[in-house]
Amino acid sequence: MTKKQWLKIAAFCAIFLVVLTGLTYCLRTSGSVKDRFVGFYAEKKNTIDVIAIGSSSVFPYYSFPQMYGEKGIAGYPLSTNLQRPAAQIYLAREALRRQKPELMIFEVRMYIGREWDMIQNMAYTRGVTDNLRYSVNRIRAINGLVTDEVRETNWIQDVDETAYYFDILKYHSNWKSLFLRSQLRTVFFAYPEPLKGFFGSNELGPAELTDFSAETGEEPLEDIQQGHLEELMAFLKENGQDALFIVSPYEITQQDAQKYNSIERLVTEQGFGFLDLNDHYEEMGLTGDDFSDYGTHVNVCGAEKVTAFVEEWLKENYDLPDRRGDAAYASYDAAYENWLAYRDENEALVQERIRTGDFAPVVTEE
User: Any idea which architecture 3-356 has in CATH?
Assistant: 3-Layer(aba) Sandwich (3.40)
Give the tens place of pLDDT for each residue, 40-61. 999 999 999 999 999 999 999 9
What is the four-CA torsion angle of 255, 256, 262, 268, rounded to 10 degrees? -150
- How far is Cα of residue 94 from the mean position of the Cα atoms in its chain? 12
Domain parsing of the chain, residue ranges: 3-356
Between 146 and 326, residue with greater pLDDT: 326
- pLDDT level of residue 159 (50, 70, 90 thresholds): low
pLDDT at residue 117, as a whole number: 85
pLDDT at residue 365, as a whole number: 43
Give the tens place of pLDDT for each residue, 243-298. 999 999 999 999 999 999 999 999 999 999 999 999 999 999 999 999 999 999 99
Q: Are 277 and 32 in contact (CB under 8 A)?
A: no
Computed over every residue of the chain, the mean pLDDT equals 93
* Greatest Cα-to-Cα distance within the chain, rounded to the nearest angstrom: 78
Asked whether residue 158 carries a pLDDT value surpassing 90, the answer given is: no
Give the tens place of pLDDT for each residue, 187-239. 999 999 999 999 999 999 999 999 999 999 999 999 999 999 999 999 999 99
Q: Whole-angstrom Cα distance, residue 105 to residue 242?
A: 9
- pLDDT level of residue 15 (50, 70, 90 thresholds): confident
- Range in 1-15, 264-278, 314-328 with the lowest mean pLDDT: 1-15
Q: What is the DSSP string of 42-83?
A: HSPTT--SEEEEESTTTTTT--HHHHHHHH---EEEEE-TT-
Strands 50-54 and 103-107 come out as parallel
* 162 three-state secondary structure: helix
Question: Taking residues 99-107, what's their average pLDDT?
Answer: 98
Between 138 and 161, residue with greater pLDDT: 138
Asked whether residue 366 carries a pLDDT value surpassing 70, the answer given is: no
Q: Are 74 and 101 in contact (CB under 8 A)?
A: no
- pLDDT level of residue 333 (50, 70, 90 thresholds): very high
pTM of the model: 0.95
